[in-house]
């Protein structure tokens, strides 16, 4: 328990560092967002309105420390300022839906890829030199060697355009209103198949190989040999005695991968016109929408930290040695 | 029995025509330098040799049946319920993320129907038997000392009351006092439960104190086998004699250290004739040409040496 609290403390600290960087970085850059916005509206705003905007963004002439404290207060209240690109919606609201879509897209891609890749890795190591072990790793490495962008385009062209099996883009059909219904869920899943599938395709090989290699090492260990000799059923030897131990290194990579995919879902979202935050980020950069950029950066950071905390807890459950030595 | 390791550079014969027999309830010591094939033999008898090892010939008759001809399922039933093994390294033979209790009880569940409650009680009983408090069932390996882990290994091996227990250097990682305790423990349990023991070690002197009979291995072959008392007082093979002199004599007033000069040969390319002749202090010309057969030189006492009479 103390270990969890300590990890939690660490993540709070990391979150604070991220918040602080988020505050200072834009202030080190030339120009300020309000001026950018002002330019965009080409004099249609009065100086008073400009001042109001500056305050909304936190760019006031107060001392830096006071600005910083105001900023922290706003962030804690969930107030990340006003978006320029989607003026006058608050950043929080703009990010809201996009973030949920990205989380859904990246989250399901990473979790599925991890689960499938790990299981295939177990199979490859267990049936060493069987067909899974012989063909799959090299095939996946081959596929993974293509640029993702190109692969995604090909998938879209073949399965979306030529065969028409899957929709060409967006998170759900235009003629359907989002609701908690079965029809909507099916529609969302159909839209997710290509983007999620292509991400899985390029990341699967890594999980497979990492699990396969650590599983092969574990299978050669004395405790697996003893488990076999004891006459345990093969499934129990493979899963409970070997796979569980072999999983440990992969789990460590899982937290990192989640952050990576969350940040890197940009390409996927562009190819499949998916309304996630990657798409938002492009809008933000185009419009010099610093507030939105900051907000996206912040939300990604927090999501990665949260995911890593979950992984820590999972690891703790998997490996009793961590419970001992660190508490 | 013959066992080869199939390597990239051709087969390596790790066990070369070795023949052993064991009485019910007997304590047989197997001694030899590291690399002489002791572990290979032990795992061969259990048929748990990992590749690239291949049993290339011979037979292993256990209670009237040849283990080498059994199929996987028959083997799975026989293994552990009739013969079991304690592995060389206690550190590595226990799964670090599974409680020791579960590692004992799953053995029982794999070999017969047993309620979870009964299995747990039996596991606690087994732990007590090897000198660990029964309430440590939920401990993990890393929470136990090296000696305790090795005792858990013994408890797992005894879970199904086998008639043959093979111990492969179970005490090499432990200090001398713990080693002695565990050896006495095994001796005591053996008297109580009546199983036969094959005890493997590189410490011949220690073996001679504890065993009924002792077999001495050299480079994949048996050099000498005989009753412990006879081997101690009148070893016939120069290698056995050398090994005994390599350890401080227990009885003599002066402590004499003498190790055999040279190193064991590579099994990939063993010397012709007697494999020990390059290191042998009394070798004659015949030794480098003709490989000596194991021949009887006394009641139950055999040696593979041209000069032994
Ligand atoms: N995996 C392997 N591949 C090739 N040769 C091996 C392998 N394992 C063992 N050997 C050979 O078998 C011999 C006996 O090994 P082992 O049975 O472990 O000896 P011991 O237990 O007496 O120390 C070694 O000297 C080595 O040459
Ligand atoms: Mg050994």
Domains and CATH numbers, chain B: 2-234 (3.40.50.300)
> In which band, very low, low, confident or very high, does the pLDDT at A56 lie, cut at 50, 70 and 90?
low
Do A191 and A167 contact (CB within 8 A), yes or no? yes
Task: Calculate the alpha carbon distances from A221 to A227, B38, B54, B67, B293 in Å.
Answer: 10, 19, 19, 24, 37
Do B287 and B270 contact (CB within 8 A), yes or no? no
Which of B93, B111, B156 to substitute to test the interface with A, most A CBs within 10 Å? Answer: B93
User: What are the DSSP calls for A176-197, one per residue?
Assistant: S---SSHHHHHHHHHHHHHHHH
Q: What is the pLDDT of residue A53?
A: 66
Residues with CB under 6 A from ligand 1: B 5, 7, 12, 14, 32, 34-40, 52, 267
Which of A42-56, A275-289, B93-107, B273-287 is most confident? B93-107
Do A327 and A316 contact (CB within 8 A), yes or no? no
> What are the strands of the beta sheet with B10-15, ordered from one edge?
B10-15, B2-7, B53-57
A213 vs B245, residue with greater confidence: A213
Tens digits of residue pLDDT in A104-148 = 898 899 999 999 999 999 999 999 988 888 899 989 988 888 888
Separation of alpha carbons B159 and B175, rounded Å: 26
ipTM: 0.83
> What are the strands of the beta sheet with B164-168, ordered from one edge?
B83-86, B164-168, B196-201, B27-32, B213-218, B221-227, B301-303, B295-298
Separation of alpha carbons B82 and B157, rounded Å: 10
Beta strands in chain B (DSSP E): 2-7, 10-15, 27-32, 53-57, 61-62, 65-66, 83-86, 164-168, 196-201, 213-218, 221-227, 295-298, 301-303
- pTM for the full predicted model: 0.80
Q: What is the pLDDT of residue A325?
A: 55
Q: What is the pLDDT of residue B255?
A: 44
> In which band, very low, low, confident or very high, does the pLDDT at A212 lie, cut at 50, 70 and 90?
very high
Average pLDDT of span A174-193 = 85
Separation of alpha carbons B5 and A43, rounded Å: 86
Do B2 and B15 contact (CB within 8 A), yes or no? yes
Average pLDDT of span A278-295 = 81
What tokens appear for B149 in the block?
């882990």
What tokens appear for B38 in the block?
């002791």
Q: What is the pLDDT of residue B253?
A: 44
Task: Calculate the alpha carbon distances from A300 to A15, A81, A99 in Å.
Answer: 11, 17, 9
Q: What is the pLDDT of residue B20?
A: 83
User: Count of alpha carbons within 13 Å of A237, Cβ hemisphere only?
Assistant: 21
Contact A226 B87 (CB under 8 A): yes
Chain A residues within 8 A (CB-CB) of chain B?
220-223, 225-233, 236, 240-241, 244-245, 318-321, 324-325
Q: What is the pLDDT of residue A119?
A: 95
pLDDT(A313) > 60: yes
Q: What is the pLDDT of residue A246?
A: 93
Do B13 and B2 contact (CB within 8 A), yes or no? yes
Q: What is the pLDDT of residue B209?
A: 86
B309 preceded by cis ω (within 30°)?
no
In this structure, which residue's CA is closest to atom 8 in ligand 1?
B5
In chain B, which residues have their Cβ closer than 8 Å to the Cβ of A230? 79-80, 84, 106-107, 110, 156
Contact A221 B92 (CB under 8 A): yes
Q: Residue B154: which of B117, B125, B122, B129 has the closest Cα?
A: B129
Contact A230 B156 (CB under 8 A): yes
All domains in chain A, ordered by first residue: 96-287+298-319 (1.10.3720.10)
- Give the number of beta-carbon pairs within 8 Å between A and B: 71
Contact B80 A230 (CB under 8 A): yes
Among the partner-chain residues B93, B111, B142, the one whose CB lies closest to the CB of A223 is B93
A96 vs A43, residue with greater confidence: A96
pLDDT(A60) > 90: no
Ligand 1 nearest-atom number relative to CA B168: 21
Q: Residue A281: which of A271, A293, A265 has the closest Cα?
A: A293
Contact A220 B50 (CB under 8 A): yes
Q: Which residues of A238-273 are buried (b: 16+ CB within 10 A; e: fewer)?
A: bebbbbbbbbbebbeebbebbbebbbebbbbbebbe
Task: Calculate the alpha carbon distances from A229 to B57, B85, B113, B253 in Å.
Answer: 21, 8, 19, 46
How many angstroms is it from B26 CA to the middle of ligand 1? 26
Tens digits of residue pLDDT in A230-245 = 988 889 999 999 999 9
Do B245 and B229 contact (CB within 8 A), yes or no? no
Q: Mean pLDDT over all residues of chain A? A: 84
Average pLDDT of span A196-213 = 92
Q: What is the pLDDT along chain B (309 residues), one digit of tens a residue?
A: 788 888 888 888 888 888 888 888 899 999 988 888 898 899 888 888 887 888 888 888 888 888 888 888 888 888 898 899 998 876 789 999 999 999 999 999 998 888 999 999 999 999 998 889 989 999 999 999 888 998 999 999 999 989 999 999 887 777 788 888 888 888 988 988 899 999 998 888 888 888 999 999 999 889 999 999 899 888 899 999 888 876 554 554 444 445 677 788 888 888 888 999 888 888 888 888 888 888 888 888 999 988 877
Which B-chain residues 126-145 have CB contacts (< 8 A) with chain A? 140, 142-143
């Amino acid at each position: 328990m103390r270990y969890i609290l300590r990890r939690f403390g660490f993540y709070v600290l990391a979150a604070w560092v991220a918040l602080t960087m988020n505050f200072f970085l834009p202030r080190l850059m030339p120009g300020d967002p309000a001026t950018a916005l002002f330019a965009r509206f080409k004099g249609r705003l009065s100086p008073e309105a400009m001042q109001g905007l500056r305050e909304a963004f936190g760019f006031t002439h107060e001392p830096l420390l006071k600005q910083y404290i105001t900023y922290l207060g706003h962030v804690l209240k969930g107030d990340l300022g006003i978006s320029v690109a989607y003026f006058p919606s608050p950043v929080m609201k703009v990010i809201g839906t996009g973030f949920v879509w990205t989380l859904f897209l990246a989250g399901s891609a990473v979790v599925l890829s991890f689960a499938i890749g790990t299981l295939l890795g177990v199979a490859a190591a267990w049936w060493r030199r069987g067909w899974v072990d012989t063909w799959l790793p090299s095939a996946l490495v081959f596929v993974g060697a293509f640029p993702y962008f190109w692969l995604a385009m090909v998938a879209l062209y073949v399965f979306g355009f030529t065969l028409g099996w899957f929709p060409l883009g967006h998170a759900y059909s235009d003629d359907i209103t989002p609701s908690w219904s079965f029809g909507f869920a099916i529609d969302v899943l159909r839209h997710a198949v290509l983007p999620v599938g292509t991400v899985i395709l390029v990341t699967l090989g890594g999980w497979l190989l990492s699990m396969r290699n650590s599983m092969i090492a574990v299978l050669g260990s004395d405790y697996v040999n003893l488990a076999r000799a004891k006459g345990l059923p093969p499934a129990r030897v493979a899963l409970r005695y070997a796979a569980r131990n072999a999983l440990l290194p992969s789990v460590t990579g899982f937290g990192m991968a989640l952050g990576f995919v969350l940040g890197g879902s940009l390409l996927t979202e562009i190819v499949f016109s998916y309304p996630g935050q990657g798409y938002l980020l492009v809008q933000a950069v185009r419009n010099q929408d610093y507030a939105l950029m900051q907000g996206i950066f912040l939300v990604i950071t927090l999501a990665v930290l949260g995911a890593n905390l979950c992984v820590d807890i999972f690891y703790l459950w998997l490996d009793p040695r961590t419970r001992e030595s660190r508490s | 029995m013959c066992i080869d390791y199939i390597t990239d550079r051709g087969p390596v014969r790790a066990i070369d025509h070795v023949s052993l027999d064991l009485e019910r309830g007997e304590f047989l010591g197997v001694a030899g330098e590291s690399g002489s094939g002791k572990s290979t033999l032990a795992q061969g008898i259990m048929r748990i040799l990992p590749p690239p090892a291949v049993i290339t010939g011979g037979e292993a008759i256990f209670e009237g049946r040849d283990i080498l001809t059994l199929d996987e399922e028959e083997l799975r039933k026989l293994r552990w319920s009739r013969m079991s093994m304690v592995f060389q390294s206690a550190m590595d033979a226990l799964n670090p993320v599974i409680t020791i209790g579960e590692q004992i009880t799953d053995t029982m569940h794999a070999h017969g129907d047993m309620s979870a409650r009964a299995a747990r009680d039996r596991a606690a009983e087994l732990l007590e038997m090897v000198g660990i408090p029964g309430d440590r069932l939920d401990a993990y390996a890393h929470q136990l000392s090296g000696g305790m882990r090795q005792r858990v290994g013994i408890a797992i091996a005894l879970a199904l009351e086998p008639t043959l227990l093979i111990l492969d250097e179970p005490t090499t990682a432990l200090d001398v006092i713990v080693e002695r305790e565990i050896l006495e423990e095994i001796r005591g349990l053996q008297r109580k439960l009546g199983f036969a023991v094959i005890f493997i070690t590189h410490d011949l002197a220690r073996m001679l104190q504890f065993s009924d009979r002792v077999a001495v291995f050299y480079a994949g072959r048996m050099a000498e086998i005989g009753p412990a008392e006879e081997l101690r007082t009148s070893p016939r093979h120069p290698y056995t004699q050398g090994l005994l002199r390599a350890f401080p004599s227990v009885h003599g007033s002066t402590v004499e250290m003498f190790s055999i000069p040279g190193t064991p040969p590579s099994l990939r390319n063993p010397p012709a004739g007697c494999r020990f002749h390059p290191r042998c202090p009394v070798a004659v010309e015949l030794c480098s040409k003709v490989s000596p057969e194991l021949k009887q030189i006394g009641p139950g006492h055999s040696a593979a040496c041209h000069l032994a009479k």
